[in-house]
Amino acid sequence: MTKGRVIYEDEAEPHFRLAYPRPALAAFVEYYFEVNQPATLANPLYLNGLPNLSNLICISLTAQPWLTINQQSGAVKAVKGSRFFGNLTNLHTSIYPAGVHEFYVKFKPGTLGKLLRFRNVELENANADLAAFIRSDNWEDRLQTAPSFDARVKLVEMMLLRRTQAVELDYRFQIVQKTFDYFGKQHINRPPNLAWICRELGVSYPSLHRYFTEALGYSPKYCQKLIRFKNALQLYRRHGSRYPFEDAGYTDFSHFLKDTRQLTQRLPSEL
């Protein structure tokens, strides 16, 4: 079993850069990030990708390949060139050796599907050539010549703004996005349950379930489970097993442990 680690957005890493989108793109993009491994680096970087609902566009800035491992099936795949990554149903470990330099756009659940006209569930666990979805050579040429991470972010935002202006997020999809906002909020006591969220949004649960399956192919309960687990894992890493996990939406620590095993086939300490 190849071990890696999860990096959270608020953690400082020497070879990992992150930036958030401008307001005009905030409905589509979660954030931009970059993995840049110096050619002189002695050890590769092992990163764990938790089961999630996001789609990624990866623009390769060097020719150095890297590996990705599906930790459930054990399948190992070499990655080279610009790629499209679908939402994950299994834990995946990425192994970045010296010389890798990749720029990523992480899209909010379902939004890249709106741009490119597919459903998340249709491309789960996908690892495909980006050229099958967009004209990737234009993206590569421009980003490879940009002098810095900040410059690459500005270039990508210019290209995305043109695409997003032609996409309408209807009220059903906006309700889905608002529900995700509630899922991600950290509350003093515990995250709000779906019944409370439905009351706040003025929608019945059957309607909310339909909006989620239309937009993502997954139920609200499954989506909430993934986000609750990601948040609770971060709390576990900070505070250990004595943290009051009912505040994170679990019955107790054993409930969190059960979800960890079910979603990743690992213990929390191995993530």
Ramachandran region, residue 81 (left: φ > 0; alpha: ψ -120 to 50; beta: rest) = left
Mean pLDDT check: name the lowest of 81-85, 113-117, 179-183.
113-117
User: In whole numbers, what is the pLDDT of the chain averaged over residues?
Assistant: 89
Check residue 151 and report its DSSP letter.
H
Q: What is the mean pLDDT of residues 233-252?
A: 88
Whether 75 and 36 share a structural domain: yes
Band (pLDDT 50/70/90 cuts) for residue 263 is very high
Residue 10 lies in a domain: no
Whether 99 and 43 share a structural domain: yes
More confident: 189 or 248: 248
With beta carbons less than 8 A apart as the criterion, state whether 148 and 101 touch.
Answer: no
Band (pLDDT 50/70/90 cuts) for residue 41 is confident
State the pLDDT at residue 188.
47
Strand partners, 101: 36
Whether 40 and 138 share a structural domain: yes
Residue 8 lies in a domain: no
Whether 189 and 133 share a structural domain: no
Q: What is the mean pLDDT of residues 109-118?
A: 87
State the pLDDT at residue 167.
87
The domain of 78 spans 16-164
Residue 9 lies in a domain: no
Q: What is the largest CA-CA distance in the chain?
A: 56
Whether 21 and 79 share a structural domain: yes
Q: To the nearest whole percent, how much of the chain has pLDDT over 90?
A: 61
Give residue for tokens 């958030």. Answer: 20
Residue 1 has pLDDT above 60, yes or no: no
Structural domains of the chain, count = 2
Whether 123 and 239 share a structural domain: no
Distances (CA, A) of 70 to 51, 92, 152: 11, 5, 29
Whether 148 and 183 share a structural domain: no
Whether 203 and 110 share a structural domain: no
More confident: 205 or 43: 205
Q: What is the mean pLDDT of residues 19-43?
A: 91
Mean pLDDT check: name the lowest of 16-20, 142-146, 161-165.
161-165
Whether 148 and 176 share a structural domain: no
Mean pLDDT check: name the lowest of 32-36, 60-64, 220-224, 245-249.
245-249
Distances (CA, A) of 13 to 4, 45, 52, 100, 129: 14, 11, 22, 15, 28
Q: What is the mean pLDDT of residues 1-6?
A: 74
Question: 164, 190, 212 — which closes off a domain?
Answer: 164
Q: To the nearest whole percent, how much of the chain has pLDDT over 70?
A: 96
Please state the pTM of the whole predicted model.
0.92
Strand partners, 47: 5, 94
Quote the distance between the C-alpha of residue 263 and its chain's center. Answer: 15
Band (pLDDT 50/70/90 cuts) for residue 5 is confident
Residue 10 has pLDDT above 90, yes or no: no
For the segment 168-211, what is each residue's pLDDT rounded down to a tens digit? 889 999 999 999 988 877 554 566 789 989 999 999 999 999 99
Coarse DSSP helix, strand, coil percentages of the chain, rounded to the nearest 5 percent: 40, 20, 40
The pair of structure tokens assigned to 24 is 């005009």
Burial (CB count <10 Å: 0-12, 13-18, 19+), residue 178: middle
